Amino acid sequence: MDRFDVIVIGAGHAGCEAALAAARMGFRTVIFTIALDSVAMMPCNPSIGGPGKAHLVREIDALGGEMGRNTDYAYMHIRMLNTRKGPAVQALRAQTDRKVYSWRMRQVLERVPNLYLREGCVDNILVQGGKVQGVTLETGEKVLGRAVIVATGTFMRSLIHMGEVNYESGPQSQRTTHALSRALERLGFRLARFKTGTPPRLNSRSLAYSRMTPMEGESLTQGFSFREKLVEREQVPCWLTYTTEETHAIISANLHRTALYSGRIIGVGPRYCPSLESKIVEFPDRDSHQVYVEPEGWDTQEVYLSGVSTSLPADVQVELVRSIPGLEDAEIMRMAYAIEYDCLEPHQLRMTLESRHIDGLYFAGQINGSSGYEEAAAQGLMAGINCCLKLQGKPPFILRRDQAYIGVLIDDLVTKAIAEPYRMMTALAEYRLLLRQDNADRRLAAYGRELGLLPQEEYEKVQRKWDSVEREMEALRSWRVTPSDDVNRTIEAIGSTPLKQAVSGEELLRRPEMSYARLQALGWASRLDSGLWDLVETEIKYAGYIRKQERAVERFQKLEAKRLPERLNYEEIEGLSREAQEKLTAVRPESIGQASRIAGVSPADISVLLVYLEQRRRGKGRKIALDEKGGREE
């Protein structure tokens, strides 16, 4: 009978990061996958990044994870999004060769010491005395482990929908599993039913690209990983086209045949990645919607039709695809489909992603109600880290909302009521100017080194980089520009106000119309790598806003520092609303700050909790009441 320290169920993006973290931290780890050829599979869009998501990938990389390096290896097309907006929402996005992405991740798994990759379907989790003991496979084989991480993605009781047809299957014709859902239910877990979908895939040879708008990639020196420069290569374009009134008419006439609107689908779908039929219904005044034609790989003609996710029948899919400019003669290689699957109600987890009632059992990825490869990978990394820290008898590693998008992601999943597949967006981060994708290594590399996931030499490289940025900023503060006719002519030429007195380079750069490159024309001689100019410019231009957010973080941390006892009986605390008592009991927040983010817990309830904690500290009892005027009395 095999024995391991850590058992990971599933080799998708969450499972891969979890297993790599555990093995690299020195623990004997096994990762099970239904099919070895589906390691790190990309069943939907073979892209990584975008607003919020790119931030997660950079953070994973800074902590020593693999997704960033894997993406940089497999990219076919890369661009920086939102460059006309502020730095907080600028985000990298890459189109990858999905076969290369999967192949390289499998190579990494196979070569890491302490890590064992195995094909096998887990159908039960062994628990004794409230503590996980291991798993059993469908073959009857028992595998013992001190900790188990469940990262099954969308494979539990998954059901494919295509119009009036539905059948049991995982994504891209993979197997599904029923036994693990039943096993979790027997252990007392509450499961939910969610839904996602994917568009049709077309044969590139059948498309009229002359009727579409090309979207070229960019030549960038920095990809998703901070650890090495991005290898420059010839990129393939993506293409933009639009749905038409004919497309919308076809969908409207066949809504009764969609799985979504006919009532066949009971699971809730992602609001921010809707099907095409949902767009037509919810935005009836729109004449068209964007459609992106994106490559699937270097060695295939298969292309992905982003924006055309649907659960319409196959015959209608052919008709609607061919109503789109450039796709009139399209050959469909794979039909679109919707997929329903089981997931966990994530408030049953701690902030470490460990189960609240079974010791040593962790969950990561889409099983926790999230969507997206990046969200899954971030959870997998954190579950792997915390699993190993617990086995070492060390304190958990929990990132706060002010420290990382990973902290926002996990806090939202565990704290808030997740009624639909969760998608990370920059709007969800209160301190997003502090959590930019360009400073993830500065924020998190020290943690990666302490955890043993980021090699010392790579950490030192990060330190040298940021030391050089700080020296450059200090030099700009010392450099003075004195008014003269030549200087003012140069300044006026870029649309800026002439100088009346000497100013520092920092003061000049703070002007909105002034760029780092334009300082060169005024005599600034920089020794800094040009790839770091944007960092200096951002730090200087947004210094005031950054300080404002830092002050907000200080207030936030005061509430986070007020810890709540885990076994607190909220029904004993008089003055809490009934709804607050129910919600607090269900979520079991670890701090006042977390409690304040629970829907249904009001500011008045938080005031009651604060007074309760103070009375508890002073030993004055447990019960608090509010007087009729809203004041407090014992």
Digit-coded pLDDT (tens) for 352-362:
999 999 999 99
pLDDT of residue 620: 55
Domains of the chain from N-terminus onward: 2-45+100-195+340-420 (3.50.50.60), 201-338 (2.40.30.260), 464-549 (1.10.10.1800), 562-633 (1.10.150.570)
Q: What was the pLDDT predicted at 272? A: 65
Helices (H) and strands (E) in the chain, counts: 20, 24
Q: What is the pLDDT of residue 615?
A: 84
What token pair was written down for 20?
């790599």
The answer to whether residue 631 scores a pLDDT higher than 60 is no
pLDDT at 626: 39
Predicted local distance difference test score (pLDDT) of residue 335: 95
186's CB contacts (< 8 A; 6+ apart) are none
Residue 140 has a pLDDT of: 95
User: Taking the CA of residue 31 as centre, how many other CA atoms within 13 Å lie in the half-sphere pointing to its CB?
Assistant: 35
Identify the residue whose tokens are 């100088």: 499
| CA 599 to chain CA centroid, nearest Å | 22
pLDDT score of 628: 32
H or E segment and range at residue 127? strand 122-128
What does the angle CA 65 – CA 394 – CA 379 come to, to the nearest 5 degrees?
35
Nearest to 37 by CA among 125, 105, 126, 129: 105
pLDDT in tens, 67-78: 999 999 999 999
CA distance 576 to 572: 9
Cα distances from 79 to residues 75, 209, 373, 386, 530, in angstroms, run 11, 20, 18, 34, 18
Angstrom distance (rounded) from CA 41 to CA 64: 21
Average pLDDT over residues 412-432: 90
The pLDDT of residue 271 is above 80: no
Residue 63 has pLDDT above 90, yes or no: yes
| Cβ neighbours of 450 (radius 10 Å) | 11
Residue with tokens 């309830």: 605
Quick check: pTM over 0.95? Answer: no
* pLDDT per residue as tens digits for the range 460-502: 999 999 999 999 999 999 999 999 998 899 889 888 899 999 9
Q: Which of 270, 272, 8, 260 shows the shortest CA–CA distance to 114?
A: 8
Q: How far apart are the C-alpha atoms of 185 and 320, rounded to whole Å?
A: 41
pLDDT digits (tens, 9 = 90+) for 151-204: 999 999 999 999 989 999 988 888 999 999 999 999 999 999 998 889 999 999
Q: What is the DSSP string of 238-292?
A: EEEEE--HHHHHHHHHTGGGSTTTTT---SBPPTTS--HHHHHHH-TT-S--EEE
12-41 mean pLDDT? 97
What pLDDT is recorded for position 248?
95
pLDDT value at residue 525: 85
Give the chain's mean pLDDT: 92
Helix ranges, 434-532 (H): 440-451, 456-478, 485-493, 505-509, 516-519
Question: Beta partners for 77?
Answer: 95
pLDDT class of 624 with cuts at 50, 70, 90: very low
Whether 550 has a pLDDT exceeding 70, the answer reads yes
533-541 helix and 456-478 helix, angle to the nearest 10 degrees: 60
Residues present in the chain in total: 634
Lowest mean pLDDT among 21-25, 410-414, 479-483, 619-623: 619-623
Q: Which helix (H) or strand (E) holds 626?
A: strand 625-626
* pLDDT bracket for residue 451 (50, 70, 90): very high
Q: Give the residue-averaged pLDDT of 303-318.
A: 94
